[in-house]
Structure 1
Amino acid sequence: MATLHIPLLFQKRHILPTGRMQLYLSTITDATTLKIILSSKTGIGICMFSDKKNQQRLCHIGTRVTVEDFNHEPNKQRIKLNIYGEDLFKIAKIEQGEHNVIWGNCQQLPLWPQRELTLEQQLLSTRLQLMFNKHPDLHKLHHQQEFHNLSWLCQRWLEILPVPTQEKQTLLNRPDCLYACDYLMSMIQTHH
């Protein structure tokens, strides 16, 4: 797998491969970072961090994203970026560059292979479709929907549900979506 040298952003919100998200950055405090992000040809890394009481922790698995679109909001002094998740990576080394921009040397991780749904797993698809219908902004972000693909479904659920960050990291470190599917099925069946 390829090695990447990319700028990193640490976020509480999560985006995974084939996912879409809107990200807001300040035109005042993040001006240099914005220039680097918008000029990057290889994309940027969005990394999760855990923010439990007095125990901020950076996670080693992140998602390389590309900027699909951006919009300057002058009244709010911020830029809205529409980003798309390309692939996962594991951080090997972090360094701080000029103007406090954080860079990572990262090892690209393989994507989860696509999987057809079993009858039992259809629950993940049905519930996600209901969620998309209830939240039109979420539905609009994901104009290419793969409700028949278990890998795509698991990644969307991991973005939406309040799964502890460390558990997400463990699930993402697996070679396929089956562990995530079992975890998510037990969550959905328990809470609904």
Structure 2
Amino acid sequence: MHTNEMVILTRDALLLPQGRTKVRIVEPHYLKMVAEVLKERYPLVYGMHRVHGKLPCYPYVTQCDVIDFDQQKDGALELVLEGRQKVKIMSAVQRKDKVWIAITRRYDNWQKEAITAQYEILSAALEHFFQANPELSKLYSQIHLDDATWVSQRWLEVLPLYNNEKLRLVCQPNCHRTLDYVLKLIQSHVNKQENSSLASLDVKKMR
């Protein structure tokens, strides 16, 4: 099976196909790595940081493109990355300059799917989340709230889950498991709010 060499950027966050994130680069070895990427010597993959193990990140990562960059006054480099293709790291070695080089193979992206009525609440909640987080929403020129895959992947990126839990969902063959998972979380949150409101009403009646 065809493999590729790619350089690894790790962060304690998830980036999936069609997702965007802003990253601040200050480490000298990462600055050198980005220069190699911009010169098209290596493709770039973005992976969730992992403390233990032979790899610096979890093995399922996302090849991404640098769609914008800006040199900061303090010397840091600010990148805007866009996820393109899921890949799996087969092996990796760290160079003397601390840059990790990975041997990767392509891992199928989830296919686009129309969102059904059952999951429309996820689109509405994501739209509200973007409105409440303008720094994130302005990274996107378009949002695809009618695409179940796009919606579910954006939820996986922003939800405060353990990295291994996110990985378990990412490795599914499609977005269906993630849709169900996020729907249960939102429904549980709504139920808690309703129960809290009812309890408040009961207290008022007792007074």
Query: TM-score, normalised to structure 2's length?
Result: 0.84
Flag the structure with larger Rg. 2
Give the conservation status (yes or no) of the 8 Å contact 2:169–2:177.
yes
Return the offset for 1:170.
Answer: 1.0
Give the conservation status (yes or no) of the 8 Å contact 2:29–2:97.
no
CA distance in 2, matches of 1:187, 1:147: 18
What is the percent sequence identity of the aligned residues?
26
CA distance in 1, matches of 2:184, 2:41: 40
Say what the alpha-carbon RMSD is for the aligned residues.
1.9
Specify every segment of 5 or more residues in structure 1 that has no aligned partner in the other structure, as ranges. Answer: none
Aligned length: 188
Map of 1:1-192 to 2, 5 A cutoff? 2-26=2-26, 28=28, 30-40=30-40, 43-50=43-50, 58-74=57-73, 76-192=74-190
CA distance in 2, matches of 1:164, 1:7: 24
Equivalent position SS for 2:57 = strand
CA distance in 2, matches of 1:160, 1:147: 15
Return the offset for 1:114.
Answer: 1.0
CA distance in 1, matches of 2:42, 2:179: 30
Higher strand share: 1
CA distance in 1, matches of 2:29, 2:45: 19
- Structure 2 letter corresponding to 1:69: D
Give the conservation status (yes or no) of the 8 Å contact 2:67–2:82.
yes
Give the conservation status (yes or no) of the 8 Å contact 1:43–1:67.
no
Return the offset for 1:2.
Answer: 4.5
Higher helix share: 2
CA distance in 1, matches of 2:135, 2:31: 27
Give the conservation status (yes or no) of the 8 Å contact 1:50–1:166.
no
CA distance in 2, matches of 1:142, 1:133: 12
* Partner deviation per Cα, 1:66-106 (whole Å, 9 max, x = no partner): 101110002x2200001110011111001112422101011
